[in-house]
Amino acid sequence: MPHRRRLTIATKLLVWSGTLIIVFFATTAFLFKQVRNDAEVSSRIVAVNHDLDSAIQRMLERLYAVQDNIRRYKVLGNEEVVSFIVEDLDRFGEILKATLKKHPSYRYDWQDLTKEYELTIDPEDSPRETLAPDTTIKDWTDILEQSLLENQADMELSLTHLHEAGETASNWGLYGLILCLAMGVGGSLALAYSLNRSLKEIRSGIRELGTGSTPRDVRVLSGDELGELAQAFNRMAGRLRREEQMRADFIAMLSHEIRTPLTSIRESVDLIGSGAFGEVNEKQERFLSIAEKESVRLSDLLTRLMTVSRMESKSLDLNLEEVECVRLVDSALERIAPAAQAKGITLNAEPIEGTPTCQCDSGHIRQVLLNLVGNAIKFSPEGSTVSVAAKVDGDRMIFSVTDNGPGISEDEQGRIFQKYYRDPSVRESVDGAGLGLAIARRIVQGHGGEIQVASSPGQGATFSFSIPAKDEQ
């Protein structure tokens, strides 16, 4: 099977940042090119069109002056005016020569201006001829005026193109900025969503594993390092499930194999204690009583192990019915009363307002109460009190068991509901297998409820759980 190439987180970041850089530099390069083009157009307008416009206007001013002086000479006959005419024509020639040197493309259009010319001025012309413009000068002015109009039209066209290019550059710059922002924000959100989605799955699996429940596989939502981490977690979860199943099967087999000889031992002890094999003296009776108690304790332990194994191997079957909460509490206290009396502990059932009912499996919920009250008796000092309360909170029924035991530290509170876990401070002094609270939590969760503890070291503990007060269906 060919190796599947994966897109790592670093590659995703590199692609995203690289795309942003490409778009940014492409936009910048386009704007830079457009600015250079606009600068070249502006330079051409200043160097060619504006300079040519200024030169043509100055030449026209000289020709208009020559035309006026010719009329003045014809009217007044003043010889001094002739010198002005000559001076204006000389200046016109200088400007024309300099302009053609800068703009040689006009040599063809202005070839009539560069030819030799001769002006004849007769002061005795008729009044009509006196006021008429000189033909040569008029031809020159017509040529220059036409060139001026064409140059101004070309300059206006260049300015129009310059304006359009500026607007185009502005639009492209705005589009590039919007695209960069969209890619930056959108890419960040998409990348964050992708990473957070994978992390959320892994975090959820780790959180469930930390609660002691059966680990489940998490979804593999990506092909990067987080996807590999999810796959590794799934492999670990699968291995833990197999090991847990093997342990459950072993416990079930061991419990079954031990229960038969244990039953024989208990029956034998009962027969000996009843005097079936002869009279039993006081010392023998005492040891037989110890053997019977230990047999009962061992039988209870096997029952708990079997219960845990059965709950893990299949879903919890519940026979839901409407049960009075008072009856649940009273029946549980009645069954646990001998254990409390043996230790001199008072069981206190706090009054319950009205006759509230809850929708539950009475046998399982009674088992939860027995486990919680049994633990309270086990950890409470002699002569203390264990209180059991029940109250309605909206559509939930809340049961609580309070004792005066050594309390539970905050660090241990998150672990005590795990199977086989026992507080290190009481492992040597108090018997138990660490299964009662695990069974209680499994039953409560099967009812759609929650179980929790509130405690501080040296202040006792209050265990409470909630179940539906009525059928939620």
Domain ranges of the chain: 9-187, 240-313, 321-468
As a whole number of angstroms, the distance between CA 180 and CA 22 comes to 10
Identify any residues that bridge with 396 across adjacent strands, giving them in sequence order: 393, 468
Position 90 scores a pLDDT of 85
The DSSP code sequence of 141-160 is HHHHHHHHHHHHHHHHHHHH
Q: How many helices (H) and strands (E) does the chain have?
A: 12, 7
The two structure tokens encoding residue 26 = 């492409």
Over residues 7-30, mean pLDDT: 78
**Which pTM value belongs to this model?**
0.49
Of the segments 83-92, 122-131, 242-251, which one has the largest average pLDDT value? Answer: 83-92
Residue 172, CA atoms < 13 Å, CB-side half-sphere: 19
Closest to 229 in 3D by CA, of 262, 271, 200, 188: 200
Q: Of 74-83, 296-305, 391-400, where does the model show the most confidence? A: 391-400
The single-letter DSSP state of residue 343 is: T
| CA-CA-CA-CA torsion sign (224, 226, 231, 232) | positive
Average pLDDT of the chain, as a whole number: 78
Cα–Cα dist 446/319, whole Å: 11
Chain-centroid distance, C-alpha 265: 63
- For residue 401, name the pLDDT band (cuts at 50, 70, 90): very high
CB atoms closer than 10 angstroms to residue 264? 10
Per-residue tokens: 409: 């530290």
Q: Which of 163-177, 273-287, 338-352 has the highest mean pLDDT?
A: 338-352
Decide which of 283 and 344 is more confident. Answer: 344
pLDDT of residue 5 exceeding 60, the answer is no
Query: Do 412 and 453 form a contact (C-beta atoms < 8 A)?
Result: no
Confidence of residue 463 (pLDDT cuts 50, 70, 90): very high
Report the distance separating Cα 396 and Cα 469, nearest Å: 5
DSSP class of 458: T
The residue type of 308 is: V
Rounded to a whole number of angstroms, the CA Rg of the chain reads: 54
Please list, in sequence order, all residues whose beta carbon lies within 8 angstroms of the beta carbon of residue 100, skipping any fewer than 6 positions away.
106, 107, 110, 114
Structure tokens at 121: 């001025």
Q: Which H/E stretch holds residue 216?
A: none
The pair of structure tokens assigned to 144 is 């220059």
E strand spans, 294-420: 321-324, 346-349, 357-360, 385-393, 396-403
Question: What phi, psi does 410 have (nearest 5°)?
Answer: -65, -35
Q: What is the DSSP letter of 213?
A: S
Read off the pLDDT of residues 129-159 as tens digits, 9 standing for 90 and up: 555 567 788 888 888 889 889 888 888 888 8
- Highest mean pLDDT, choosing among 9-13, 122-126, 289-293, 363-367: 363-367
- Which pLDDT score is estimated for 473? 40
Q: Which two tokens stand for residue 14?
A: 């590199």
Which sign, positive or negative, has the C-alpha torsion 289, 291, 292, 297? positive
Percentage, residues of the chain above pLDDT 70: 84
CATH of 321-468, one of 1.10.10.10, 3.30.230.70, 3.90.79.10, 3.30.565.10: 3.30.565.10
The span from the CA of 256 to the CA of 253, in Å, is: 5
Cα separation values, 23 from 16, 28, 178, 418, Å: 11, 8, 11, 55
Which residue, chain included where needed, has tokens 């399982």? Answer: 364
Q: What is the pLDDT of residue 472?
A: 42
Residue 378, classed as helix, strand or coil, is helix
pLDDT in tens, 157-169: 888 887 887 788 7
d(CA 269, CA 291): 7
Query: DSSP secondary-structure letter at 357?
Result: E
Asked if the model's pLDDT at residue 9 lies above 80, the reply is no
Query: Is residue 442 pLDDT above 80, yes or no?
Result: yes
Q: Which two tokens stand for residue 453?
A: 């503890």
Taking only the tens place, the pLDDT of each residue in 214-228 is 677 888 877 777 778
- Per DSSP, the three-state class of 390 is strand
CATH number corresponding to 240-313: 1.10.287
Fill in the DSSP letter of residue 2: P
Query: What is the side-by-side order of every strand in the sheet holding 385-393?
Result: 346-349, 385-393, 396-403, 461-468, 450-455
d(CA 459, CA 408): 9
